[in-house]
Structure 1
Amino acid sequence: MSAHDRGVGAAILKRLRLARGWSLADLARAIIAKAAELGQPLDASVASVQRSVARWETSKAPILPGERYQLLLAHLYARGADGQSSLGAGSDFAELLDAFAHLGESERRLDELRTLLVRTLTDSGGGLLALLGSSTQRALSSALGDPSRLDESLLDTVRLAVHDVNSQVGSVPFVRVQLLLAPIVESCRRLLDASVPEPLRPGLQAVAAQAYTLAGRAAFETRDDAAARALYAEATAAAGNAGQPWQRAVVHMSHALVTLYSTPGLDAAQQLVDAAVRDARAGESVTVRARAHALQAEIAARRGAEPNADAAERRRAERHARAALALAWYDLDSDRDGDPASSSFSPAHLRGFEGVTSLYVGDPHTAHDYFADSAAALAAPRERVQRAIVATDQALARIRLDEPESAAELLHGCIDAASETGGRVAAIRLRRARGDLRPWRREDWFGDLDDHLIESLGA
């Protein structure tokens, strides 16, 4: 960090304190009180903490607060001066994280702080509007009362709030994702039914499609299939009205994966994947097109592995799957400058689909290597759910390679991830892996795995 950056960070910290009407000693006392409230009392006097505050805010070589002080400051500023929880854009909490960034804190640590505060607020029953700053909450309430007041700035903020909720997937359980999304989903519904400025309606439709899609995924993960179907129907309609085919393709793909695990057979999921491919080919996102082709490959491979598939059908399914994978790689290797969804799908994700194809209609050795590479690359917190799914598939490949105990060792970590996130797909795959391990049910390690499954997932 440059001296200028550090100076900006110090100035933000000072501004936040003064906006609360706090002196240096007042903030020191607030920090000590918050530490005691959290059950982590500070062994320091007010004067000592006050000197630390002064070092953070000085215009001459300010320092970054230590991790413990960062946490205490985060808890203090997660509530606005009015006492309401607020973590969104424009909130004191968001300003605090910006100050830490200017003072040299890493993105990873900032993400950890944000996730921790989201967990805390939803634990305490708050957080319904936590990802919308207090000014945004007022603006949204005003727009709901008078839809003509909706403007591009408010739309951008709501879009960012949906993105922030999405970034929590894998870090917090899906029930918390639902809690955070609920007011956004309801606000989108009310605004879409109102007379908002016509030029803003396509943008509102796009934001609504994103919120409904994520809410549909969360409803599925928490085993509310009826709500999931209704939300996906709303998302499909909103994305269609937004006028961007790639956005509707994203909805279809999410819906297809949900359908794959909640509806018997492959036909319903196949129809959604085919619709996603059509929309993706008509849209401007090459990345979305790659993901659609990858899903097409998975469906084809699964068809080849159906119990009633003969050798010819299996070979045909493998050809179709390999062709779709080749198209997906072609798309990912294309120029994606300006792609509106460039971060939504990566080579690590695609290697997972290659592994699925090899698992169903190819060689388990090859499948295992693809899964291992994919799991190693899916390192971000947002990718934790996908990493657990890929690692479970890797364990399935080990079972087919006659390495059952090694598979069980891998599955223990997958159980922990599925339990902590509430991931339904990972749980379904885990139960399938357990079924494949039944020939070894008399082994001690199988009993340990079974106990872990029952304790963590209830099955």
Structure 2
Amino acid sequence: MSAQDRLVGAATLKRLRLARGWSLADLARAVSTKAKELGQPLDASVASVQRSVARWESSKGPILPGDRYQLLLAHVYARSAHGQLALSVGSDFSELLYALGHLGESERRLNDLRTLLVRTATDGGSGLLALLGPSTQRVLADALADPSKLDEELLEAMGIAIRDVNRQVGSLPFVRVQLMLTPIVESCRRLLDGTVPDAVLLHLRAVAAQAYTLAGRAAFETRDDEASRALYAAAAGGVGPPWRRAVVHMSHALVTLYSTPGIEAAQQLVDAAVRDARAGESVMVRARAHALQAEIAARAGSARHAKAALALAWYDIDSDCDGDPSPASFSAAHLRGFEGLTELYVGDPSKAHDYFAQSAEALHTPRERVQHAIVSTDQALARIRLNDPEAATELLHGCVDAASATGGRVAAIRLRRARAYLRPWRREDWFADFDDHLIESFGA
């Protein structure tokens, strides 16, 4: 960070404090009080904390608060001056993260702080309301009472909130994700049933499609397949550009693959996704669609078609994605996992193992935790096929922990499949340890 960036961060911290009418000592007391409330009292005196606050806000050489103070500041500023939990864009909490970023904190650490406070919001029952913020909640209530008041600003805030919830996948159990989405899903339904201005109707449909798609995924993960199918149908009926339709079809295809016998229904959705992706503007979405096409072909035993689809996916990945409307939706790391699946079904398990290992190593963000568990479980399956079952269980223990923490249904299905392949070694002590771990975590 440049010296100017740090000065911007310091000035933002000072502005936050003054906006609450607090002196340096007031903020120091608030931080010390919060530490006691969290059961982590500070060893430092209020006067010492006050000197730290002054150094953070210095106009000459500001410093970044340490990790512990960042956590305490996050809890202090996550609540408005009136005591309401507020994490939305424009909130004091959002401004705090902005300030910490300018003072030199990493994006990953800032995401961790945000995830922690979102978890706190769901613990307290606030959930999505905290992500929308008090003022947006009031505007949404007015629009629900009179849909003609719906405007672009509210829809943009709703879209940001949905993206915030989406970022919590892998950090929060799916049941919490589902609870957070419920208010906005119902709001979208009510607004679509009302008479909204023509100028915002397409935007409303796009926001609703995003909410329905994510809610459909959460419903599947929590084993409510009927609700999941209904949500995906609603999403597909309202989404706009072709690349967005492709995203809906792909998400629907994945849950269909694990909730419907056979692969025919999933294949139809993947084929539709490929058609829409090819007509759309997102290269990354197109790459993902081709990768899914490869998986379906491999599951059907068609090595030639699977390899052809993988080649198209790599061509897409290597293309220029400047201006891509969905640049972070897929990556080479994800594609390595699909290469592994293709080799696992119609190729060499040794190659599959190496592809899975490369993919798992690169999938390290909280958002990728679910995918990491799935890929690692597939890597364990490759080890079983390579006649190294004990090494497979070493991987599977970590996968059990990740799948249990997130409630990931696909990972759980893959784990039970791995257990079935391990049955020839059921008299081994290491199998018993894994079996006990699986039963403790999933009850089966």
Residue type of the partner of 1:280? A
Question: What is the aligned partner in structure 1 of residue 375 from structure 2?
Answer: 390
Q: In the alignment, does 2:188 pair up with 1:188?
A: yes
Q: TM-score scaled to structure 2, two decimals?
A: 0.97
CA offset digits 1:207-230 (Å, max 9, x no partner): 111111011101111111111111
Question: What is the aligned partner in structure 2 of residue 93 from structure 1?
Answer: 93
CA offset digits 1:387-443 (Å, max 9, x no partner): 110110000000000000000101111111101111110000000001100000111
Question: What is the aligned partner in structure 2 of residue 312 from structure 1?
Answer: none
- Aligned residues of 1:86 and 1:131 also touching (Cα < 8 A): yes
CA offset digits 1:93-152 (Å, max 9, x no partner): 101111111111111110111111111121222223111133322332232233333332
- Structure-2 separation of matches of 1:52 and 1:23: 13
- Structure-2 separation of matches of 1:359 and 1:144: 51
Q: In the alignment, does 2:279 pair up with 1:282?
A: yes
- Structure-2 separation of matches of 1:100 and 1:150: 34
Q: In the alignment, does 2:390 pair up with 1:408?
A: no
Q: In the alignment, does 2:263 pair up with 1:266?
A: yes
Question: What is the aligned partner in structure 1 of residue 291 from structure 2?
Answer: 294
**After the TM superposition, which residues 9-408 of structure 1 pair with which residues of structure 2 at under 5 Å, given as runs?**
9-239=9-239, 242=240, 244-304=241-301, 317-408=302-393
- Aligned residues of 1:273 and 1:295 also touching (Cα < 8 A): yes
- CA apart distance, 1:451: 1.1
Unaligned 5+ segments in structure 2 are none
- Aligned residues of 2:128 and 2:161 also touching (Cα < 8 A): no
- Structure-2 separation of matches of 1:125 and 1:140: 19
- Aligned residues of 2:132 and 2:158 also touching (Cα < 8 A): yes
- Structure-2 separation of matches of 1:138 and 1:21: 25
CA offset digits 1:289-321 (Å, max 9, x no partner): 2111111111111112xxxxxxxxxxxx11111
- Aligned residues of 2:9 and 2:101 also touching (Cα < 8 A): yes
- Structure-2 separation of matches of 1:61 and 1:108: 24
Give the secondary structure class of the aligned counterpart of 1:129.
Answer: helix
Q: In the alignment, does 2:429 pair up with 1:441?
A: no
- Structure-2 separation of matches of 1:446 and 1:291: 36
- Structure-2 separation of matches of 1:440 and 1:123: 42
CA offset digits 1:230-283 (Å, max 9, x no partner): 1111111111xx2x1111111011011001111111111111111111211222
Farther-moved stretch of structure 1 (279-288 vs 418-427): 279-288
- Structure-1 separation of matches of 2:439 and 2:110: 35
Residue type of the partner of 1:351? R
- Structure-1 separation of matches of 2:126 and 2:191: 24
Give the secondary structure class of the aligned counterpart of 2:257.
Answer: helix
Residue type of the partner of 2:265? A
Residue type of the partner of 2:385? R
Residue type of the partner of 1:429? R
- Structure-2 separation of matches of 1:440 and 1:382: 34
- Aligned residues of 1:392 and 1:433 also touching (Cα < 8 A): yes
Farther-moved stretch of structure 1 (22-31 vs 399-408): 22-31
Unaligned 5+ segments in structure 1 are 305-316
- Aligned residues of 1:395 and 1:407 also touching (Cα < 8 A): yes
Residue type of the partner of 1:411? L
Q: Between Structure 1 and Structure 2, how many residues are aligned?
A: 444
Identity %: 78
- Structure-2 separation of matches of 1:255 and 1:431: 22
Give the secondary structure class of the aligned counterpart of 2:414.
Answer: helix
- CA apart distance, 1:82: 2.2
Question: What is the aligned partner in structure 1 of residue 413 from structure 2?
Answer: 428
Residue type of the partner of 1:192? L
Q: TM-score scaled to structure 1, two decimals?
A: 0.94
- CA apart distance, 1:197: 2.0
- Structure-2 separation of matches of 1:214 and 1:414: 23
CA offset digits 1:46-77 (Å, max 9, x no partner): 22212211221222212111111111111111
Give the secondary structure class of the aligned counterpart of 2:284.
Answer: helix
Give the secondary structure class of the aligned counterpart of 1:131.
Answer: helix
- Structure-2 separation of matches of 1:348 and 1:443: 34
Farther-moved stretch of structure 1 (180-189 vs 383-392): 180-189
Residue type of the partner of 2:438? L
